[in-house]
Amino acid sequence: YFDFNDRKIAIDASGGSEDGNIRYTIRNENLRGASILNGPFDYLNAEVSFNYVIAGTYTLEAEKDGSRNYLNTIDTIQIDVLKTIQNSIEFDICDSYIYNPINKEIGLSISGGNEDNYGEVSYTISAGIEDGSIIDSSFIYTNVDTYYLIATKDGSDNYIDISTSTQVHIEKRVQTPIELKVADTNQYDVIEPIILLDVSGGHLEGDEVIYSLSGGIYSDFNSQPSEWKYENTGGVSTYDVSATKIGGKNYYDISLVHTIDIIKGPQKYFYFLNHEEYVYQPTYKHIELKIVGGYGEGEIRFDGSNVAYTDDKWYLIYSNAGDYEVTATKDGNESVFDVSNTMVIH
């Protein structure tokens, strides 16, 4: 086998007659640099060696001089200098890397092998892995996964090719912080009792957010953004809203809890149905008071110096023409305040 540190092979020929000199010749001259040391003649049994440079098959010829009485005689031999196994190689890269959405390139290199072997190194990804590629001496990954890489160093003239493998783990990345874009305090809105839940921040490769309320009373919304119909979850109260942005394949999930207070709000659209002016009626001095609007089933009452409640109805009872001030009030409930409206009837 090829030996970089000792590339000499002692050669000797025996037989023939008497003491004729032996001449050694290398016949396949296409193998560069091979030579006969201490030759080409063997004088007085001096040590003769065949010196090679690279592995290969060599044909050596020994010719013994017949001197005065004999014909020269020739013998040939074929010497195979075989390629030898290289020293082991290994990857000079880390076992794991954090997923980087901006730069997914990992430079590849190896150490080991034989110092005198300048064979090229090639890299491949073992079968079964689709999310990756090799460009020049760099590994390009796509997503979080475990990748199996193979490096092969060419043995060139004197060595057998050698390979090694390694596993590279691309680990999930922690998302940047998220924020729930909603006010801490919100008045109950009787027209549209909805809060729009919307999360900003986190990774940019997906937008799936799961929301839930404290105690798990409502987990029926997971779109982004999402409408929280708080009239269905208890109305006025203090809620801990949990938002979790799903990390998907390349990121860890990230969560936050945001405390939101739903406080009482105003009733809306509470107004009289009465006219502002009436014609004096000497025989019937009653005006039925009517009002609509507000929220819920709260009790309605009217106040004024000439207001009376008779037969389940409210009336303004006047005696003479003039201006009469009437105030209507509708009671609130756990979600809304009382509401009042005042008008002057002439």
Question: Is residue 216 pLDDT above 80, yes or no?
Answer: no
- How far is residue 106's CA from residue 116's CA, in Å, rounded to a whole number? 27
Separation CA 7–CA 324 (nearest Å): 127
Quick one: pLDDT at residue 213? 84
Residue 244, pLDDT score: 92
pLDDT band at 54 (very low <50, low <70, confident <90, very high): confident
pLDDT of residue 282: 93
pLDDT at 231: 81
For the cut 60, the answer to whether the pLDDT of residue 215 exceeds it is no
- Residue pair 102/110 in contact (Cβ under 8 Å)? The answer is no
Residue 253 has what pLDDT?
Answer: 96
Closest to 162 (Cα-Cα) out of 87, 265, 254, 70: 87
Question: What's the pLDDT score for residue 48?
Answer: 81
Mean pLDDT of 312-334: 95
Q: Looking at residues 28-36, what average pLDDT do you find?
A: 70
Q: Write out the DSSP string of 66-124.
A: -TTTS--EEEEEEEEE--EEPPPEEE-S-SEEE--SS--EEE--EEES-TT----EEEE
Q: Tokens representing 126? A: 């073992």
Identify the band that residue 127 occupies on the pLDDT scale cut at 50, 70 and 90: low
Q: Which of 13-22, 42-51, 87-96, 227-236 has the highest mean pLDDT?
A: 87-96
Helix (H) or strand (E) holding 62, with range, is: strand 56-64
pLDDT over threshold 70, residue 296: yes
d(CA 153, CA 134): 16
Residue 295 has pLDDT above 80, yes or no: yes
Residue type, 243: A
Tell me the two tokens of residue 155: 């043995």
pLDDT at 321 over 60: yes
Task: Kindly state the helix (H) or strand (E) to which residue 310 belongs, with its residue range.
Answer: strand 307-310
The pLDDT, as a whole number, for residue 280 is 95
- Least confident span in 28-32, 211-215, 243-247, 342-346: 28-32
Which of 64-73, 122-131, 321-330 shows the lowest mean pLDDT across its residues?
A: 122-131
Q: What pLDDT is recorded for position 263?
A: 94
Peptide bond before 177: cis, by omega within 30 degrees of 0? no
Mean pLDDT (the chain, rounded): 88
pLDDT in tens, 261-279: 999 999 989 999 999 999 9
> Is residue 289 over pLDDT 60?
yes
Instruction: Please tell me which residue, 187 or 129, carries the higher pLDDT value.
Output: 187
Cα–Cα distances in angstroms (integers) from residue 260 to residues 188, 189, 212, in the given order: 12, 15, 12
pLDDT at 41: 54
Higher pLDDT, 196 or 218: 196
DSSP code, position 223: S
Q: How many CA atoms lie within 13 A of 112 on its CB side?
A: 17
Band of pLDDT at residue 128, cut at 50, 70 and 90: low
Closest CA relative to residue 226, chosen from 240, 239, 208, 214: 208
Give 44's pLDDT tier (boundaries 50, 70, 90).
Answer: very low
- Model confidence at 187: pLDDT above 60: yes
Q: Which region among 14-28, 69-83, 321-335 has the lowest average model confidence (pLDDT)? A: 14-28
Please give the average per-residue pLDDT across 282-293, as a whole number: 95
Share of the chain above pLDDT 90, in %: 59
> For residue 76, what are its two tokens?
């040939």
**pLDDT of 94 over the 80 cut:** yes
Q: Is the per-residue pLDDT at 47 higher than 80?
A: no
What is the signed CA dihedral for 110, 111, 113, 118, rounded to 10 degrees?
70
Q: How far is CA 81 from the centre of its chain?
A: 52
Confidence grade of residue 37 (pLDDT, cut at 50, 70, 90): confident
Contact 235, 225 (CB under 8 A): no
DSSP-based three-state secondary structure for 231 = helix
